[in-house]
Amino acid sequence: MNPGPSGRDPHGPKFACCEDVTPTHIPLKPGRIALLAVLTGLLGCGEVPYLAQAIYKAQRMAEMGPSVALDLPAIEQRDTLVVIAPYNSTSYFLYRAEPMGYEYELLQKFAEEMDVKLRMLVVTERDSMFKLLRAGKGDIVAARLVGAPEDSGVVAYTRPLYATNPVLVQRSAGPPAVVVADTAPALGGAAEPATLPPITPARVRQIQRPSQLQGQRVDVPEQSPYTRTLIELADTLTGDIHVVEVDASSEALIRAVSEGTIRYTVAQGNIADISSDHYTNIVVRPALGEAAPIAWAVRPNAPQLHARLNQWLANEKNASLLQSLYTKYFIHSAGYHQRMDSPFLTSETGRLSEYDTLFKEGAKKIGWDWRLLASQAYQESKFQPRARSWAGASGLLQLMPRTAAEFKVRNATDPEENVAGAVRFLGWLTNYWTQRIEDPDERLKFILASYNTGSGHVEDAQRLAEQAGDDPTKWADVSYWLLQKSKREVYTNPVVKYGYSRGIEPVNYVSIILERFQQYRQAGNE
């Protein structure tokens, strides 16, 4: 097995994105497997007519849709790099309400060097990712991608981030898996779906060689690149391998193997290895193929972005970054244990913080999504109830002493009092701005900015916008003038009543809270 950046065999972690991976609760996906079986036979045969391959490629390109012309200059002009990614423990996830992930952190650094913002778009299915990429809804797919022959012309892959083998994950101890018999395509022997053999009470013997998978059921994630691996293996056997694609992540299926609800799955080696440090009753062997490169994908007609990414990945100054992040997410088992055992690994628990109940109760009173209030609290204090600013603001939502007194908060470091007082203040701001800003989405930005800097400074910016012929009800125009209030020639303007303001703080405040709110929503916690 080829080593990853760390120098050891690259195997690794993740956490489940579904509640239950018992096969009776997961929709099976047999149609794609049958198609892949046929396709693998075609592509693997040297005598297959060129026409057959051309027809398949044309059909796939039609399914994927046209690839829009949108390259690096357009991305820089819009000032945002959009990354399409799944929600998993190594690509992108929330831990203690903070975005993390190997691919996320790398692309965050890349976006910083481009001097653009990074926005994550969470998508689960591989083909859906590619369709959105080609439609211009995202710029990069970062999803632990293994290239496949049918991707030719659909996407362009970057330089590899690392390489890893497909490995079989099975139990090392405990009673046999309890799996309800169902149907799945039988690969290697039959073209028609076959009934899976029933589970017998006898203990299941561990698989030592790939050939011993003959007659066995193997569960893999939907659109897994390793479905093809199993098809190719089945072609070398006299019996069948029953492959079932399920709507679950690789990590979820590894957990299911540990719990005994499925017998086998196939995963990327580095994910399986670090998972085995957590689930001590699983075995990660044998390898089912050679190490394959893991890369990012961009549109095939975005050569400038493709070149920029490749240049960045190849740059020697970034080598230590790739090494340290690989170690953090694929080697450092203590960190993985902490995340997996934490009540605040959002994909597992649906929780952002220990104060979620307070945020939910408070948000109802002002008609907010509770995750928006949580995002604001994180921005104010990182959920530290005893946090205190240099200016004297304190508590989860950083109430100033005067505001705390006005809204009847006696102890601002008490989480319940603090959230209740902040909600009363936000309710007052909501009523105030409802009379002035009709559009609710625009109004929210004025409310957040006023919470941060005071409604007086925001009204100054409105008057400046109106004086300049801009729209005082649009945050884009008002935020521009709020930024200008740090300049003497602007804050001394006769229409300005509240003087100097360091406008960069409220403008960033609004932007960061709303962006984090979107991240919280995509995490799936309700």
Cite the active site residues.
380
Distance (Å, whole) CA 19 – CA 52: 41
Distance (Å, whole) CA 61 – CA 45: 22
> What predicted TM-score, i.e. pTM, was given to this entire model?
0.81
Q: How far is CA 290 from CA 165, 249, 456, in A?
A: 6, 22, 64
Tokens standing for residue 200:
């017998």
Angle subtended at Cα 494 by Cα 400 and Cα 441, rounded to the nearest 5 degrees:
55
Largest CA distance in the chain: 88
Distance (Å, whole) CA 440 – CA 366: 13
Distance (Å, whole) CA 280 – CA 257: 11
* Residue 394 phi, psi dihedral angles, 5° rounding: -145, 160
Distance (Å, whole) CA 70 – CA 92: 24
Distance (Å, whole) CA 506 – CA 508: 5
340-357 burial, b at 16+ Cβ within 10 Å, e below that, comes to: beeebbbbbeebbbebbe
Angle subtended at Cα 99 by Cα 95 and Cα 102, rounded to the nearest 5 degrees:
95
Beta bridge partners of 443: none
Neighbours of 476 (CB within 10 A): 11
Number of residues assigned to the chain: 526
For helices 415-434 and 440-453, give the axis angle rounded to 10 degrees: 130
* Residue 98 phi, psi dihedral angles, 5° rounding: -110, 130
Tokens standing for residue 58:
């044309």
Identify the DSSP state of 300: T
* Residue 220 phi, psi dihedral angles, 5° rounding: -135, 160
Q: What is the pLDDT of residue 522?
A: 87
**Could you check whether the bond before residue 286 is cis, i.e. omega within 30 degrees of 0?**
yes
Ramachandran category for residue 452: left, alpha or beta (phi over 0 → left; psi -120 to 50 → alpha): alpha
Distance (Å, whole) CA 138 – CA 145: 16
| Cα torsion 261, 145, 212, 169: sign | negative
Identify the DSSP state of 367: T
195-205 burial, b at 16+ Cβ within 10 Å, e below that, comes to: ebeeeeeeebe
**Are the CB atoms for 167 and 272 separated by under 8 Å?**
yes
Amino acid at the residue 147? G
Distance (Å, whole) CA 404 – CA 417: 9
Distance (Å, whole) CA 432 – CA 185: 62
From the CA atom positions of the chain, what is the Rg in Å?
Answer: 27
Distance (Å, whole) CA 23 – CA 253: 10
**Are the CB atoms for 82 and 312 separated by under 8 Å?**
no
Distance (Å, whole) CA 304 – CA 308: 6
Beta strands in 370-503 (DSSP E): none
Distance (Å, whole) CA 249 – CA 123: 12
Distance (Å, whole) CA 489 – CA 523: 45
Per-residue pLDDT of the chain (526 residues; tens, 9 = 90+): 444 443 334 333 332 333 334 333 334 455 566 666 655 665 555 445 566 667 777 888 889 999 999 999 999 999 999 999 998 889 999 988 899 999 999 999 999 999 999 999 999 999 999 999 999 999 999 999 999 888 999 999 999 999 999 999 999 866 554 544 444 454 543 333 444 444 444 455 789 999 999 999 999 999 999 998 998 899 898 888 999 999 989 999 999 999 999 999 999 999 999 999 889 999 999 999 999 999 999 999 999 999 999 999 999 999 999 999 999 999 988 888 788 777 777 767 788 999 999 999 999 999 999 999 999 999 999 999 999 998 899 999 999 999 999 999 999 999 999 999 999 999 999 999 999 999 999 999 999 999 999 999 999 999 999 999 999 999 999 999 999 999 999 999 999 999 999 999 999 999 999 999 999 998 866 6
Question: Among residues 169, 212, 225, which one has the least CA distance to residue 40?
Answer: 225
Amino acid at the residue 350? G
Amino acid at the residue 164? T
Q: How far is CA 23 from CA 234, 263, 266, in A?
A: 22, 11, 16
- Helix (H) or strand (E) run with residue 243 in it: strand 241-246
**Are the CB atoms for 189 and 239 separated by under 8 Å?**
yes
Distance (Å, whole) CA 128 – CA 388: 45
Question: Among residues 118, 126, 121, which one has the least CA distance to residue 137?
Answer: 121
Domains of the chain: 23-44+164-291 (3.40.190.10), 62-162+294-341 (3.40.190.10), 356-522 (1.10.530.10)
Q: What is the pLDDT of residue 26?
A: 39
Give the helix ranges, DSSP H, for 173-299. 226-234, 250-259, 269-278
Q: What is the pLDDT of residue 243?
A: 92
Strands 80-85 and 140-146: parallel
Q: What is the pLDDT of residue 173?
A: 65
